[in-house]
Amino acid sequence: MNSSKTAAEKIFSEKSGQDARRGDYVWAVPDLIYMHDILGPSSIKSLNKISGGKTRYPGKVVVVNDHIYPPKDVESAHNIKMLGESAGEEKWETIPFGEGIEHTLLIENGTIRPGMLAAGTDSHTVTAGAAGAMGVGLGSTDIAFLLALGKLWFKVPETILFRVEGTKGKYITGKDIILKVLRDIGVNGANYASMEFHIEKGLKFNMDDDLSIANMTVEAGAKTCIVKNENLASNREFPQSDEGSEFTERIMDISNLEPQIAKPYSPGNVSDAKAVEGIKVDQVYIGNCSNGTISDLREAASILKGEHVKNGVKLIVIPATRNIYKQAIKEGLIGTFLDAGATVGPSTCGACAGLHMGVLAENETCITNINRNFMGRMGHPSSRVYLANSYVAAASAIEGFIKVPGD
């Protein structure tokens, strides 16, 4: 048998204790489980039905209250209270309130590390791939079984390897890379696969770009991902697929790539952003679990500095973590946003999932750097959401319509 392995095969071999190959079904023990304030409580309810609340999971469990924090109503407050009580009884780690959005935060604070297998109650757990870990989003019942049994079965995914090369344009970010991938392969193009990205040295993409790429791999149907950026020294520890292992390879030359945009109502409905310039917007939303990074805030501020939001347009900025917020204050970015007429909020999932703090009304149009634009995702079913990078979002806030900077 071929001794070479993909990154996914290496990680699942280690976590299952067997020679795992793509297509195999294995029982594996993730290194980490993390849950949030919406699906965490439902996982606990399922756990109570399955095992009376008893757990056998030997690894680390982390609770992050981020989806509706600060709580907007009695139900969301109750969920946070319930999750806190269960965490206290089980001695799970509870992140202090307001520290940030789980996927960004747990990479920032070092909880998620290279080579780990992390399971989360959120589909965007795939963001862990930016830290060289394999993040897998699971349903509430699956999380409950994992807690009760101490292990869970997985199918080892096949691997699609994207080699990113060429030259990087001025207003191009990791968001444009993943949107271009979705444009090319569609929302079912990587179903149950591990999407592995190798970013060529010299392209000057940073860790924040990697977060953006990893976060949206699930929109292509991916089970998990790894983003290995040759420009970052820390990436040397990241697992990668061996030459000679079995994977599907795609070469991605970004030399002529222009800013991309996903139109309603799918992350896969992508075109060049220039093709939809001029569409009026009612709201601009900057910040979520991958694109509320300090790089995103710098990009947006570079466009907004000395400018003002178009009258009648709501600009909402949400730093992804408390530390990013503090750094943005230190660099004067928050002042730039406030001077431009933006509302800056605490670190929360908020309007990204149509929960609070920026929900859209009937027939409103929003351009944003979040990850999903399904019908009704951010509010009323008739509202429309366009996904783009932070440069394009900021430029659109100034003009009052979709605008690509530099034109």
pLDDT tens per residue across span 317-374: 999 999 999 999 999 999 999 999 999 999 999 899 999 999 999 999 999 999 999 9
Alpha carbon distance 347, 324 (integer Å): 9
Whether 191 and 273 have beta carbons less than 8 Å apart is answered as no
pLDDT recorded at residue 236: 83
Alpha carbon distance 393, 167 (integer Å): 23
Average pLDDT over residues 307-323: 98
Alpha carbon distance 123, 157 (integer Å): 16
Alpha carbon distance 297, 291 (integer Å): 9
Element (H, E) at 120: strand 117-120
Whether 219 and 268 have beta carbons less than 8 Å apart is answered as yes
pLDDT recorded at residue 355: 93
Element (H, E) at 368: strand 365-368
pLDDT recorded at residue 2: 77
Residue 37 structure tokens? 């304030």
In sequence order, the 6+-apart residues with CB closer than 8 A to the CB of 291 are 175, 211, 212, 215, 320, 369, 370, 371, 389, 390
How many Cα atoms sit within 13 Å of 121 on the Cβ side? 26
Whether the pLDDT of residue 407 is over 80: the answer is: no
Domain 261-399 maps to which CATH number in 3.30.499.10, 3.40.50.300, 1.20.970.10, 3.90.180.10?
3.30.499.10
From-to residues of CATH 3.30.499.10 in the chain = 30-150, 261-399
Residues in the chain, total: 407
- Band (1; pLDDT cuts 50, 70, 90): low
Burial of 363: CB neighbours in 10 Å, binned 0-12, 13-18, 19+: exposed
Alpha carbon distance 227, 360 (integer Å): 33
Average pLDDT over residues 85-93: 94
pLDDT tens profile 138-154: 999 999 999 999 999 99
Whether the pLDDT of residue 234 is over 90: the answer is: no
- Torsion, Cα 17 18 22 23, to 10 degrees, reads -100
- The CATH number of the domain covering residues in 30-150: 3.30.499.10
Alpha carbon distance 175, 160 (integer Å): 19
Alpha carbon distance 313, 12 (integer Å): 48
How many Cα atoms sit within 13 Å of 2 on the Cβ side? 13
pLDDT recorded at residue 283: 98
Nearest to 325, CA basis, from 346, 340, 305: 346
Mean pLDDT of the chain: 96
How many Cα atoms sit within 13 Å of 41 on the Cβ side? 16
From-to residues of CATH 3.40.1060.10 in the chain = 159-257
Domain 159-257 fold is: Aconitase; Domain 2 (3.40.1060)
Element (H, E) at 336: helix 333-339
Whether the pLDDT of residue 313 is over 90: the answer is: yes
Helix (H/G/I), strand (E/B), else coil: 134? strand
pLDDT recorded at residue 205: 96
Burial of 206: CB neighbours in 10 Å, binned 0-12, 13-18, 19+: middle
Whether the pLDDT of residue 240 is over 90: the answer is: yes
Whether the pLDDT of residue 244 is over 80: the answer is: yes
